[in-house]
Structure 1
Amino acid sequence: FLGHVALGNEEWNPWEGDEKNELVASQQRYEANLKMIKSARSHLEQTRLRVQIWGKAAIGLYLWQHIFGGHLEPADATAQWREGSQKAGKTYFSFITGPSVVPGYFSVEAENVVLVLNGREKAKIAYAAQWLHYAQTLIQTHKIQRVAVVLLGNEQCKNEWIQPYLKRNGGFVNLLFVTYDYTLVNEEDIFQWPLGVATYRNFPVVEPSWSMLHDPRSYLCNFLGTVYKNSSRETLMEILKQDGLDKLCWIAAREQWQPQETNESFKNYQDALLQSDLTLCPVGINTECYRIYEACSYGSLPVIEDVMTPGDCGNSSMYHSAPLQLLKTMGAPFIFIKNWKELPAVLEKEKKMSLQEKIQRRKKLLEWYRNFKAWMRQKFINTLENSFLPSDKG
């Protein structure tokens, strides 16, 4: 009997169940790995476009860090050379920027190039033209195939100089993304691009925090900036003083524009945005200004002087709501006023708002801004892919 038990024990394997489970588990692991490899392979296959972005204007940092949420190495903003990369859609993007990025002295790593240029004034245009000529040479020697340009346009939309470079006019530039309400925007090869924040002053990517949303703010509104003679900004200052509203708002006016911020003045400015429910945005040379986007970053609602400025900007064949067509089309939840005389009524209403209402408004603003950047990113990628990728229609 004992022998039988012993024999029985040999046949009986207490680990059998575990082995079966292990077999099933290893089979599942194998299948999961296979799936991962397949997905990685298809992921690689899906990357059908390689695009190198050459950031030769500060607006490139808004494109890469703010809209694309991309990183740069090294992190030091004063570095001679900075780079980053990101896969998005079917496209692998690499981005290079810094003073060391000079025509002929860096490796061109994609056959599709996005050139980010400054076309604001004569000296900048001459520099931008050098880059365009370099790109043209690369096309002629078959080093690259396609070029798009992101242009910090002239504040009065005097961008005629770029026209001969466009493919539609016999040039080689497939796509143009340009700031301000350029009348030639057609949503085919010319698109409006947001001005964004003042990256040239190292305005950061701001992550919304709990306190930014929920804390009471000390000021109804803020305006830190230059007050030009005989401008609507003078009117604004008078209106604020008349009603004693300047006591409720953080106002720091100066008579001369300073391109270089001191650390202290910049910190002041960021504090003002963070401590005010509203940010006043009077027109400058153009209606669109960095302040609009910077206020959004801190959940301070822009109050926009919604008037056209002198120059050649205006409605295009696609949009009829200039100024700020892009922001309006995207449903920006700002306060638009035609005249600063409307401001006292706006501020009266503001005084009556509960903190809860303000929190809701901040949430709405921050969410809108996040969606706006995501939408611009998607639109940029789709536009490049539609233009640069061969059509799948056979």
Structure 2
Amino acid sequence: MRVTRKRLCSLLLCVYSLFSLYAAYTVFFKSYVHSRTHRVAHKKNTHAQEPSLGKQDWNPWENDEKQIQVTAEQRYAFPISAPVKFRVQIWGKAAIGLYLWQHIFEGLLKPTSTAAQWREGNLREGKTHFSFITGPAVMPGYFSVETDGVVLVLNGREEAKIAYAVQWLHYVQTLVETHKLQYVAVVLLGSEQCNNEWIQPYLKKYGGFVKLLFLVYDSPWINEVDIFQWPLGVATYRNFPVVNPDWSMLQASRPYLCNFLGTIYKNSSRETLLAVLRQNGLNHHCWISARERWQPQETNESLKSYQDALLQSDLTLSPIGVNVECYRIYEACSYGSVPVVEDIMTLGNCGNSSLHHKAPLRLLKSMGAPFIFIKNWKELPSILEKEKNLSLQEKIQRRKKLIEWYQHFKAQMKQKFIKVLETSFMQNNKDG
């Protein structure tokens, strides 16, 4: 009996030891192998969605993609010995904040849904940590402020927007006065006529607390000292996406010479544009979709139609509206469709500054935008005639140049934005 019990105990001990060994193997080895398999399968699925280029096809973005990958790895891989020197929080209370974060900074947001009440993201550039928050739930006093400085993104296009912007400025002023913030910058979607006097009392030069102002449109205030010009960008409020150029976008033949999808205002140059196209029979060669009233909201169908028009047209016609600078210009660049821009100043107070004399579109012109600028839409027939005679290879090279320029433009704007902020912050430390 004793022998039997002894054997039973030995057997149980043996089984327990084998189970322990199996558990250890599962935890330390099998799970690792499983995670690797999962990652490989995920990469295969990703590549399956991309167009096959073939071994003999040349990818013009191969070097750029490798550089972007290296840059991304460097951005997020920081040794412990390189501490964060600046902390900047961006409060996106206007749609152009999404252009700044997602298109210029190439930052991610969680959750990804545009309908979310609160969205946030984080990234690091050099020794500066940037965080971004946006959404209807981002309200004054309802979130923690743990940062050295704030970039407040505001809309000042109309009276109702200005009133809302002023509420935020008053809240930030309180934080500065109670020493919870060291410095403040504002990115402002200004008036299309450049009537932005309402913000002057908040600027430091006028006794306020806003040290830096990044202002959209050709305001004569731009001085490259404390007021800088900022691009309008794409219509993020209508869910225009971040477009990643691919080989088919560059290579494919486009069935339309040009496109124009937009509102036709009475007695505007847009009426002239349509008349020129019809009189010369060119409307059959272009994707034209005109409407009499402006529609602020985009449906999935209308957004897809608009993106298809950009993708299938070699040129995007950009007649002036209330201001020469419009979302269409940047959206066309995203798809490699060359903007044909009506180069005429609109009514209002926009124009040349003491430093810049290339208005309108000073910012884009100063950075060598490869657009077609015209003074009158009667020039269009000759432009489209030249288009008909261009070879596909010539158009491919032009698309490549435009897309590369736009990528460089956004990268330059990001670096300038960061440099201006960091320089201002360091000056604040010296002043303190």
When normalised by structure 2's length, the TM-score is: 0.81
Residue identity over aligned pairs, in percent, reads: 73
- Which residue does 2:375 correspond to in 1? 338
Q: Secondary structure at the match of 2:81?
A: helix
Aligned partner of 2:359 among 315, 322, 333: 322
Aligned partner of 2:129 among 92, 106, 113: 92
Q: Note closer, same or farther for the CA distance 1:181–1:39 as it changes in structure 2 (3 Å cut).
A: closer
What CA distance in whole angstroms lies between the structure 1 residues aligned with 2:396 and 2:311? 13
Aligned partner of 1:42 among 70, 81, 93: 81
1:21-77 alpha-carbon deviations (Å, 9 max, x no partner): xxxxxxxxxxxxxxxxx9713322xx2110000000000000000000000000001
Q: Is the 8 A contact 1:306 1:337 kept in 2?
A: yes
Aligned partner of 2:234 among 197, 218, 227: 197
Q: Indicate the structure whose relative CO is greater, using CA pairs within 8 Å and at least 6 residues apart.
A: 1
Q: Does residue 1:141 correspond to 2:150, yes or no? A: no
Count how many residue pairs are aligned between Structure 1 and Structure 2. Answer: 355
What CA distance in whole angstroms lies between the structure 2 residues aligned with 1:48 and 1:120? 35
What CA distance in whole angstroms lies between the structure 2 residues aligned with 1:176 and 1:259? 27
What CA distance in whole angstroms lies between the structure 2 residues aligned with 1:276 and 1:108? 47
Q: Does residue 1:117 correspond to 2:179, yes or no? A: no
Q: Is the 8 A contact 2:325 2:361 kept in 1?
A: yes
Q: Aligned runs of 1:170-185 on 2, under 5 Å?
A: 170-185=207-222
What CA distance in whole angstroms lies between the structure 2 residues aligned with 1:373 and 1:302? 17
What CA distance in whole angstroms lies between the structure 1 residues aligned with 2:205 and 2:176? 16
What CA distance in whole angstroms lies between the structure 2 residues aligned with 1:137 and 1:283? 41
What CA distance in whole angstroms lies between the structure 2 residues aligned with 1:318 and 1:95? 32
- In the TM superposition, residue 111 of structure 1 has moved relative to its aligned partner by 2.2
What CA distance in whole angstroms lies between the structure 2 residues aligned with 1:70 and 1:348? 41
Q: Secondary structure at the match of 1:311?
A: coil
Q: Is the 8 A contact 1:89 1:381 kept in 2?
A: no
Q: Does residue 1:290 correspond to 2:321, yes or no? A: no
What CA distance in whole angstroms lies between the structure 1 residues aligned with 2:398 and 2:425? 40
What CA distance in whole angstroms lies between the structure 2 residues aligned with 1:111 and 1:376? 22
Q: Secondary structure at the match of 1:246?
A: helix
1:224-247 alpha-carbon deviations (Å, 9 max, x no partner): 000000000000000000011000
Could you tell me which amino acid in structure 1 is paired with residue 355 of structure 2?
Answer: M
- In the TM superposition, residue 89 of structure 1 has moved relative to its aligned partner by 2.6
* Structure 2, unpaired ranges of 5+: 1-76
What CA distance in whole angstroms lies between the structure 2 residues aligned with 1:345 and 1:288? 24
What CA distance in whole angstroms lies between the structure 2 residues aligned with 1:342 and 1:99? 46
1:299-341 alpha-carbon deviations (Å, 9 max, x no partner): 0000000000000000011100000000000000000001101
What CA distance in whole angstroms lies between the structure 1 residues aligned with 2:247 and 2:146? 42
- Which residue does 1:27 correspond to in 2? none
Could you tell me which amino acid in structure 1 is paired with residue 199 of structure 2?
Answer: I
1:139-169 alpha-carbon deviations (Å, 9 max, x no partner): 0111111000000001000000011100010
Q: Does residue 1:151 correspond to 2:214, yes or no? A: no
- In the TM superposition, residue 366 of structure 1 has moved relative to its aligned partner by 0.2
Aligned partner of 1:229 among 266, 283, 288: 266
Could you tell me which amino acid in structure 1 is paired with residue 255 of structure 2?
Answer: S
Could you tell me which amino acid in structure 1 is paired with residue 150 of structure 2?
Answer: V
Which contiguous aligned blocks of 4+ residues in structure 1 show a shift greater than 3 angstroms? Answer: 390-394
- In the TM superposition, residue 90 of structure 1 has moved relative to its aligned partner by 2.4
What CA distance in whole angstroms lies between the structure 2 residues aligned with 1:107 and 1:85? 15
Q: Note closer, same or farther for the CA distance 1:393–1:169 as it changes in structure 2 (3 Å cut).
A: closer
1:241-266 alpha-carbon deviations (Å, 9 max, x no partner): 00110000000000000001121111
What CA distance in whole angstroms lies between the structure 2 residues aligned with 1:187 and 1:341? 37
Q: Note closer, same or farther for the CA distance 1:173–1:39 as it changes in structure 2 (3 Å cut).
A: closer
Could you tell me which amino acid in structure 2 is paired with residue 352 of structure 1?
Answer: N
Q: Does residue 1:218 correspond to 2:255, yes or no? A: yes
**How much is the aligned-residue C-alpha RMSD, in angstroms?**
1.4
Could you tell me which amino acid in structure 1 is paired with residue 334 of structure 2?
Answer: S
What CA distance in whole angstroms lies between the structure 2 residues aligned with 1:40 and 1:215? 44
- Which residue does 1:358 correspond to in 2? 395
Q: Does residue 1:280 correspond to 2:280, yes or no? A: no
Q: Secondary structure at the match of 1:253?
A: strand
Could you tell me which amino acid in structure 1 is paired with residue 104 of structure 2?
Answer: I
Q: Secondary structure at the match of 1:389?
A: helix
Q: Note closer, same or farther for the CA distance 1:173–1:391 as it changes in structure 2 (3 Å cut).
A: closer
When normalised by structure 1's length, the TM-score is: 0.89
- Which residue does 1:253 correspond to in 2? 290
What CA distance in whole angstroms lies between the structure 2 residues aligned with 1:274 and 1:247? 17
Q: Is the 8 A contact 2:183 2:428 kept in 1?
A: no
What CA distance in whole angstroms lies between the structure 2 residues aligned with 1:186 and 1:289? 22
